Amino acid sequence: MDDHEELAPTPGQRAGKFLKQKDIIQTIALGLFFTAVFVVLGLWFYPKWMPEAMSKEMVGDEGILKWFTVISAPIAGIVLAISAESFMNRRKGNEPATEDGAGIKTHGPVVLIWSAVSGLFCVLAIVWGIVEMNTWTSDALTNAPHALVVDVTGSQWAWSFEYPSLGVTSHDLYLPVGVPVQFNVVSADVNHSFWPVQLGVKVDANRLETTVVRTTPDKLGHFDVKCAELCGLYHAYMETNGEVVTQANFNNWIATAKANGGTES
């Protein structure tokens, strides 16, 4: 055996040499920077831009968006870092390259790590979603016997709300604070999507098929009711007012509506 035979570098040596390359160091630094930016966006800025939370469901929606942004920040960070590093080291000018770069088909460890991280993120998203959905469903079923039922009808391009147990119909949505609500949603024509924004729920409005969504408003104030599915020429204008009021004010509103024949504009 030749005493001067060179041994193949160990995995640790190869990794060390790889990490000492200038472009790799720059990419890692950029990845950490972009990751930090997305973490700050998720924890600080995004919640400030979101609508006011007026139900537990909306608080849950905010939490999911916030923490999913934080969890996915490293993935977005490394993608942006590689893109930025490639852009900064792009070939400039009109002179052709003197030689082709090395052909790279794949890199086993990178593919394995990327697949594992992506798979873990998908599993986390699925498990988190199932747990949240089951929790909200359980709460909704518990509150169902005491819920105020509101029949919601979407049509091109307006919403109408009927309170069947109270004998009142309105184009504005009024709800008493702290009272569970069950929305029975249907469409009079094309498909719509019922979205009381600050209440944190949304459900399709289909023709000849009633969909159900439940929530409990826990904060006084105004909220927006919009259509979240493209439904025609005036889709963007298919919105109306909603308000969460005290039980006493809700009772007064119902009494006034009944005095006007059960219809309140």
Q: What pLDDT is attached to residue 75?
A: 86
190 part of a folded domain: yes
Its domain, for residue 68, covers 15-87+110-141
Q: Are 237 and 196 in a shared domain?
A: yes
- The residue with tokens 């309170």 is 163
Q: What's the CA dihedral at 181, 217, 196, 165 to 10 degrees?
A: 30
Q: How far apart are CA 265 and CA 257, in angstroms?
A: 9
Q: How far apart are CA 21 and CA 166, in angstroms?
A: 73
Q: Are 241 and 129 in a shared domain?
A: no
Instruction: State both tokens at 245.
Output: 């009021």
User: Which phi and psi angles does 21 have, rounded to 5°?
Assistant: -70, 140
Q: Are 116 and 180 in a shared domain?
A: no
Render the burial of 109-143: b for 16+ CB within 10 Å, e for the rest.
Answer: eeeeeeeeeeeeeeeeeeeeeeeeeeebeebbeeb
Average pLDDT, integer, range 54-80? 87
Structure confidence at residue 126 as a pLDDT band (50, 70, 90):
confident
Number of structural domains in the chain: 2
- CATH number of the domain to which 243 belongs: 2.60.40.420
Q: Are 126 and 214 in a shared domain?
A: no
Q: What's the CA dihedral at 16, 21, 27, 31 to 10 degrees?
A: 20
CA distances 153 to 36, 65, 190, Å, are 45, 29, 11
Q: What is the pTM of this model?
A: 0.74
Q: Are 124 and 154 in a shared domain?
A: no
16-50 confidence digits (pLDDT tens): 776 677 778 888 899 999 999 999 988 888 778 88
- 152 within 8 A of 187, measured Cβ to Cβ: no
184 part of a folded domain: yes
68-119 confidence digits (pLDDT tens): 888 888 888 988 998 988 888 776 666 666 666 666 677 677 788 878 888 8
